[in-house]
């Protein structure tokens, strides 16, 4: 049990650092009003989580990879805050696009990952 707790702590930290690095890298390369960094983080996280689900991992591995690593990597709260900020900046089109496109591509990425995982 202690090893699982330590794994959650370590992998959660790794996921958070990866989110920071991917967000910053993408945001610098695709500057603009649209929050492209967190968008890429969340879509890539959905793809990998779908892949892990398709692989049908054991419960401990699923916990460590899905909850700890990917749970810390992806972020619902930052996505919603950025969407709110777009709305308060009167960029309603971008705010709406952030919600609709994130949901559509997130579901598609998770489904694609699951499909790939089931075939591995």
Binding residues for Na(+): 71, 74
Torsion of CA 55, 58, 64, 69, to 10 degrees: 10
Annotated binding-site members? 71, 74
Indicate the SS3 state at residue 96: helix
């Amino acid at each position: 049990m202690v090893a699982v707790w330590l794994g959650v702590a370590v992998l959660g930290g790794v996921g958070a650092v990866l989110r920071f690095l991917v967000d910053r890298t993408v945001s610098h390369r695709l500057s603009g009003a649209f929050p492209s960094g967190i968008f890429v983080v969340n879509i890539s996280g959905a793809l990998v989580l779908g892949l892990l689900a398709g692989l049908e991992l054991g419960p401990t591995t699923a916990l460590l990879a899905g909850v700890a690593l990917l749970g810390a990597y992806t972020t619902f709260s930052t996505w919603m805050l950025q969407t709110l900020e777009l709305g308060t900046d009167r960029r309603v089109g971008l705010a709406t696009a952030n919600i609709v496109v994130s949901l559509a591509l997130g579901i598609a990425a998770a489904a694609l990952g699951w499909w790939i995982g089931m075939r591995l």
